[in-house]
Amino acid sequence: MQRVGKKDCDALDKLLEKLMKLMEQNRLAVLLAVGASPPPPRSNCSTACGDVKISYPFGFEAGCSWPGFELVCRDTIEGKKPFLPPARVWNNISSYCYDSVTKGMTNESSDTVYLPEAHRLSDTENKFIVGCYTVAYIAAGDREDMRYASACSAFCGPKGNNLTSLMDGACSGTGCCEATITEGHTSYNTMFNPDYNTTQIYNVSSCSYAVLMESSRFSFRRSYVMNSSQFIDTNGGRVPMVVDWAVQNASNCVEAQKDHDSYACISSNSVCVNSSSGPGYICNCTHGYQENPYLLHGCQGLVTCVFVGLFGFLGWEVIRHRQNTKKQALLRQTDEFFQQHGGQLLLEMMKVEGNVGFTLYERGQIETATNNFDKAHIVGEGGQGTVYRAEIDGTIVAIKRCKEIDESRKMDFVQELVILCRVNHPNIVKLLGCCLQFEAPMLVYEFVQNKTLHELLDFQRNRSCHVTLGTRLRIAAESADALAHLHSLPHPILYGDVKPANILLTEELVAKVSDFGCSTIDEKTQVAPKGTPGYLDPDYLLEYQLTAKNDVYSFGVILVELLTGKRPLSKERKTLTSMFKEAMTDGTLIKLLDSDIVNEDNLRVIHQAAVLASESVLDYSRYGKARDELQQLAFADEVQQYPQPPLVLAGLRFTAEMANTRTTSSWQTDSKTTGVYSLEKKAMLSTELAR
């Protein structure tokens, strides 16, 4: 250790005097930076561990340090050294007892123990302890895979006659048994072998026990056998268990040091050490330094406690300054985005409009709800942005992260938001609010739990489910009604990307049109095509001028897809609409239709639906009448005699409740399967459809 001379002491006294004044001037700022004022340390706190001096805010005993700055003093080959302690948790003891009522054994095993993230069961400081007259097993691993198993058995002589040989303190198979575990486990549970029990010696010891606990805290006593509940009743049936921890933003030190921003060993005098109990790492101070390697100036030399306090204070000042600078920069940027996207204009419009039922969310609310846009929250990605599942104020919502919007169009965008927030249609996803404090706007919608029409059609194509003709026509009618409503608004909303993936389905298979609002596209000419191949109107591709007719064409493609079960583009890149037109012309439509929905009873309905689909892609003027006719066809008598059976797809249950509540359909029976016909029957149906 370096010695400090008189001149050094005088200089330190002057420095300390300046430091105390500076600290008094900045005391409030420091307390704000750390969050709250900690209690003062006790007067009898230890100030050293071996030759290492420790000063507040660090400490060893309770009440001698700030939260998170607790240290432990351990004996090492180099003498006493300070360490961050392992965590200790209370663990429930599992018991296996004789029941005098049932004359059998009762297993009171605890539930599986799951450790929080970054913690593991210590394989060096824990032992699996088992009492006598039983065989117990321990299974350990992680949440998905209990890959490790071990057993331990202990006996106390036949029927308890050898109890005189038991000695306090020893645990070697007689009286009790202990076993080690391997490293890297985050969960465990215990089990007892029912073939070994105490039913024969219940008058000596009616209970046994098993538990994973800190080995140094267990000392066997003969009374644990003679009075079988004594150990189980210790501390209310709980014992301490040691839990190791490690920083887990990387699997090892080499990987951790690649990402400077997330690297935990931030002290200049710190060193990274790979975790000994699995993936991850911990930080230590380098030789000649001690205290906390996880702080910017946490590892300090052994010169004097004054320097420790000074560096600690300066460290907090640097962190506070950086935090304030970053916070101010973020606030400026947030305000710039808000103005850029027309936030002030939107506020003024909302005042004029009155109560529009629309919420302006703060940036922090969106970041918290999406866990900073964690990929695990993504539920969909469309042509205009990414959708996240989130929870705001206890309500599950869908947050859509739009792509950038042309600043010159912000007036149109704001007007569209004001109009959309007033849309209240059963087949349109409700827009709840927005956040304009990001680089691109965030739109907040009601959350629709189940799948999309695209996914439902994929399941149908793979024959994983059966979707009736009535259900298909009803979904088409609801979607058409939603599009017509958007087109009829005072400031018409032209969708531009109508496709099954943008039609959500509720639990009752009700269609809800989604994925609008991020774009303010209207009749103006576009510089690039918008939409999805196969659903795009050829007329739109000529001039990129979007109209209501283009949305209707795309809807017609969806109706054809519902009737045929085929994709809009074949492997040969031949469009479904062209194949449909050919089939309608040459009378071969029956070959193109989905056989699951074709039978003699619904032939009239299918023919009319096919005509409506053809008119939707050819004649926009027929759209209004087509919507009404689709609704009538969906609930026609010949269609309703085949109700939609419940669907369970990928863990989500659809319970479509059709108007007709008949419990069976020909699709469900074993003797007849809808869609299976002879060649003669197909020929007859083809002739009928061609009329």
pLDDT digits (tens, 9 = 90+) for 229-263: 788 887 778 888 888 877 777 888 999 888 888 78
Contacts of 360 (CB under 8 A, 6+ apart): 343, 346, 347, 433, 434, 435, 436
- Pairing verdict, β 290-291 and 299-300: antiparallel
Residue of 244, 481, 497, 594 marked catalytic: 497
Calculate what percentage of the chain has a pLDDT beyond 90.
13
- The HSE-up count of residue 360 (CA atoms within 13 Å, CB side) is 18
Take residue 436 and report the two structure tokens written for it: 């304009």
Helices (H), 422-547: 453-461, 469-487, 538-543
How many Cβ atoms from other residues are within 10 Å of residue 691's Cβ? 6
In the residue annotation, 497 being an active-site residue is answered as yes
Higher local confidence (pLDDT), 565 or 358: 565
Report for 9-13, 188-192, 241-245, 619-623: range of highest mean pLDDT? 188-192
Q: 314: exposed, middle or buried (C-beta count within 10 Å: 0-12, 13-18, 19+)? A: middle
User: Tokens standing for 499?
Assistant: 């496709």
For residue 651, give every residue at least 6 positions away whose Cβ sits within 8 Å of its Cβ, in sequence order, or none: none
Beta bridge partners of 105: 98
**d(C-alpha 373, C-alpha 442), whole Å:** 11
pLDDT at res. 427 = 94
* CATH architecture of the domain covering 451-690: Orthogonal Bundle (1.10)
For the chain, how big is the Rg over CA atoms in Å? 36
Q: Give the list of residues 6+ apart from residue 441 with CB closer than 8 angstroms, or none.
A: 341, 402, 405, 413, 434, 435, 518
Q: What is the spatial distance between Cα 205 and Cα 620, in angstroms, rounded to a whole number?
A: 88
Between 304 and 628, name the one with better pLDDT. Answer: 628
Averaged pLDDT, 430-455: 88
DSSP state of 159: G
Same fold, 327-447 and 451-690: no
One-letter amino acid of 173: G
pLDDT of residue 472: 92
pLDDT single digits (tens) 280-321: 888 888 887 877 777 778 787 755 475 556 667 777 777 887
Task: Catalogue the E-assigned strands of 356-510.
Answer: 359-360, 378-381, 385-392, 395-402, 431-435, 442-446, 503-505
Q: How far apart are the C-alpha atoms of 547 and 565, rounded to whole Å?
A: 27
pLDDT of residue 191: 87
- Among 289, 325, 654, smallest CA distance to 504 is for 654
Candidate from 19-33, 358-372, 417-431, 589-603 with smallest mean pLDDT? 19-33
Instruction: State the average pLDDT over residues 571-581.
Output: 85
Length of the chain: 691
Tell me the pLDDT of the chain averaged across its residues: 76
Domain range summary for the chain, segments of one domain joined by +: 45-85+249-319, 87-245, 327-447, 451-690
> Contacts by 658-664 with C-beta closer than 8 Å and gap 24+?
658/470, 658/471, 659/635
The two three-digit tokens of residue 121, written as one number: 């069961």
Strand-strand pairing, 126-131 and 207-214: antiparallel
Kindly state the percentage of the chain with pLDDT values over 70.
75
Q: Give 327-447's CATH code, choosing from 3.30.200.20, 3.20.20.70, 1.10.8.290, 1.10.10.10.
A: 3.30.200.20
Provide the pLDDT for residue 201: 66
Q: Give 13-75 as a DSSP string.
A: HHHHHHHHHHHHHTHHHHHHHHSSPPPPPPTT---EETTEE--TT-BSSTTSS-TT-B-EEEE
